[in-house]
Amino acid sequence: VYDPVATQTGREALERAGIRMDMVTFCENAYEVAEQADALVIVTEWNEFKSLNMLQIRSTMRQPVLIDGRNLYEPSEMNRLGFTYRGIGRGTGPAASVLPPGDSTSTPESETLQRPLMGALEGNNGK
């Protein structure tokens, strides 16, 4: 786990949630977290993440898989650099772009995990 701003907050939230801390590794920078990783998941859009040397990141990963929850990167560029890339909400092909609003695969914003997760991080259990 690496967050350039909220590492301590994240650590405290994991402890409150009862996560076994011996199963979590906190890293000093984005390059360290990529070492021997099977995948990277970006969940914040800090400027630091927008300017990483992605060739260096890829070269240290065991499997160059990038899940981009903030759509910081262009899919074609990440594929060109050798990543298996997925941008959350971008879909994976033509079928993903033709689902009508309100389709049964849609989830209302109020039902997403964002609110409970943010509440847990803020220490108020989603309230």
CATH number of the domain encompassing residue 51: 3.40.50.720
pLDDT the model gives residue 90: 83
Average pLDDT (5-16) is 90
Within 10 Å of residue 42's Cβ, how many Cβ atoms? 20
Range list of H helices, the chain: 7-16, 30-34, 47-50, 54-60, 75-80, 94-97, 114-122
pLDDT in tens, 59-83: 999 999 999 999 999 999 999 999 9
How high does pLDDT run on average in the chain?
Answer: 80
Establish if 63 belongs to a structural domain: yes
Establish if 107 belongs to a structural domain: yes
Residue span of the structural domain in which 79 resides: 7-93+102-122
Q: Strand 84-87's sheet: what is its strand order? A: 40-42, 65-68, 84-87
Establish if 1 belongs to a structural domain: no
pLDDT in tens, 15-34: 999 999 999 999 999 999 99
Instruction: Determine the 3-state secondary structure of 125 from DSSP.
Output: coil
Establish if 2 belongs to a structural domain: no
pLDDT the model gives residue 66: 97
Establish if 29 belongs to a structural domain: yes
Average pLDDT (76-102) is 75
Backbone dihedral angles phi then psi of residue 92, each to the nearest 5 degrees = -125, 5
Lowest-confidence segment of 2-11, 88-97, 109-118 by average pLDDT: 109-118
Establish if 127 belongs to a structural domain: no
| pTM tops 0.85, yes or no | no
Establish if 12 belongs to a structural domain: yes
Q: Hey, what are 71's tokens?
A: 């759509």
Total domain count for the chain?
Answer: 1
Average pLDDT (3-9) is 88
Query: pLDDT grade, residue 92 (50/70/90)?
Result: low
